[in-house]
Structure 1
Amino acid sequence: MRIAVAGATGVVGRYVVAAARERGHDVVELTRAAGVDLTTETAAGVLEERLAGVAAVVDTTNISTQRRGAAEAFFGNVTRHLLAAEQTAGVGHHVALSIVGIDHIGLGYYAGKKLQERLVALGPVPWSILRATQFHEFAEQVLGFARVGPVSLVPQMLSQPVAAREVGDALVDVVEAGPSGLAPDLAGPERLQMVDLARRVSEAHGLGRRVVGVPVPGASGRAMRGGALTPAAGGPRGSVTFEEWLAGA
């Protein structure tokens, strides 16, 4: 099967590419480095060319922003451009990676992901959406969200982190299964506090950060602290623990 991967060099995208190739699939990488800027109108013509003969597109693109306008503009533009080109090229399956629990969080980035899901579900291409919890790598990323000298302010939240490699494998499973709508939530094996994970990353990597947990205000913050970003029902679970990932497993 020929599979196109948007965001093919990203945290999860590179694992989708590796897993797909290991299973014998032909992979088309959709990245800026490969000449495809999915955020611009000019992407349309290039995309239609690249999607010739493609059976499925996996969208793992991402943006680092907490602003609602920027998040909605990014995920909206990328999704609209992909779906339009897929329809023209005759692609039969669009697979999007999303986040467990976003229905309960009103913050800016999550608004962008919710828009992405709506566009996919209402779009012209048969679809699947896989929601996953935060990746193990997220604990390192949050150390840089808000920094004051040697102090990192980390949002208080209950998480069930999963290895990005396992998310990549799961996305290829979804591709191979065919269009299935909203797939069961994917999470890691342990429920853990993000502040603790950030501290462990700082210590393990010798970063010397002082990690201070900060409650996100309002209903979204309460939901995050209460575990809204962890699965509420059964579903697939990764096997790689945070400690194993941190040790390089």
Structure 2
Amino acid sequence: MRIAVAGGTGGVGRLVVDAVRAAGHEPVILARSTGVDLIRGSGLDEALTGTPVVIDVSNVSTVNRKKSETFFGTATGNLLAAGQRVGVRHHVALSVVGVDRVNWGYYAGKRIQERLVLDGAVPATVLRSTQFHEFAAQMLASVPGPIAVVPQMRIQPIAAHEVAHCLVDLALADPAGRVPDIAGPQQLRLSDMARRLLRVRGRHRVVLPIRLPGATGRAMAGGGLLPTGPGPRGTQTFDTWLATPAALRTTGRPG
């Protein structure tokens, strides 16, 4: 079966493409490099014709509310419209645990994406995931200099490849709406993750955790990004990930 992967050339997308192949199916990569533009909608009908399932892991690197809302609203709307035109039977979208409890700019776009997918005409599944192990690297890269200022956060990081395989399993099943959240095996503080990552990389920087102002900061520090119920749990710990080559080279993604 052909399975389309929106954002299939990104860090998570490549893992989803690999998982599709490992499951014995044919990935169809939706990206500008393959002639598909999610924002303009160009190339979507041609790529999705004869493709009954879509997995959307497209992403934008921003914490700006307007940019996030514009990207996810436009890309998701175009994907769903094209899917309805050509007969897509199952649309699977990746979201983030806690987007309804933490009012951060990036999450505003994810909330729009979820609403469009779950209210749309194409039968759908939405999986919320906690942050990937790479999240600490992404935060460090966003604040260059001798002092790394990171938000106070309690998170439950997970291996991206485990999320990728879960997405493919869901795509091969019946549409299920919003399914239980997927998360990693242990809760950690982002500042501790950043310090451990810097040690592995041999970097000498001071990590300064700060609480973001208002309700957003309180929610992040108080567990608003943690799962609140049972669901699938990954097995790879952050320490195990630190021992892999990926810890030395990745910068992660917003989450």
TM range (shorter): over 0.9
- 2:123 corresponds to 1:123: no
Contact 1:93 1:179 (8 Å CA) reproduced:
yes
**Equivalent-residue separation in structure 2 for 1:187 and 1:125 (angstroms):** 26
In the alignment, the residues of structure 2 paired with residue 232 and residue 39 of structure 1 have an alpha-carbon distance, to the nearest angstrom, of: 33
Partner deviation per Cα, 1:117-138 (whole Å, 9 max, x = no partner): 0111111100000000000011
Q: Distance in 2 between matches of 1:140 and 1:50?
A: 34
In structure 1, the residue matched to 2:10 is: 10
SS of 1:74's equivalent in the other structure is helix
SS of 1:95's equivalent in the other structure is strand
CA distance in 2, matches of 1:69, 1:120: 19
In structure 2, stretches of 5+ residues that fail to align are 246-255
Contact between 1:99 and 1:132, CA under 8 Å: does it hold in 2? yes
Quote the Cα distance in structure 2 between the aligned partners of 1:146 and 1:175.
Answer: 37
The list of structure 1 runs, each at least 4 consecutive aligned residues, that deviate by more than 6 angstroms after superposition, is none
Equivalent residue, structure 1, for 2:66: 69
| Secondary structure of the corresponding residue to residue 186 of structure 1 | coil
Distance 1:207 1:70 in 2: 32
Partner of 1:232: 228
Cα deviation, residue 145, structure 1? 2.5
Check if 1:95 corresponds to 2:92.
Answer: yes
Match of 2:197 in 1: 201
Q: CA RMSD in A?
A: 1.1
Alpha-carbon distance between aligned partners in 1 of 2:216 and 2:44, rounded to the nearest angstrom: 37
Correspondence 1:1-249 to 2 at 5 A: 1-40=1-40, 43-44=41-42, 46-147=43-144, 149-248=145-244
Mapped contact 1:155–1:216 kept (Cα < 8 A): yes
| Residue correspondences, number | 245
Cα shift at 1:208: 2.5
Give the secondary-structure state (helix, strand or coil) at the position aligned to 1:104: coil
- The residue type paired with residue 87 of structure 1 is Q
Q: CA deviation at 1:39?
A: 1.2
Shift of 1:206: 2.0
Q: Is the 8 A contact 2:37 2:44 kept in 1?
A: no
Query: For residues 15 and 105 of structure 2, what CA distance do their matches in structure 1 show?
Result: 27
Which runs of 5 or more residues in structure 1 are unaligned? none
- TM-score, normalized by length of structure 1? 0.96
Aligned-pair identity in percent equals 54
Q: Partners in 2 of 1:137 and 1:245 — Cα distance?
A: 9
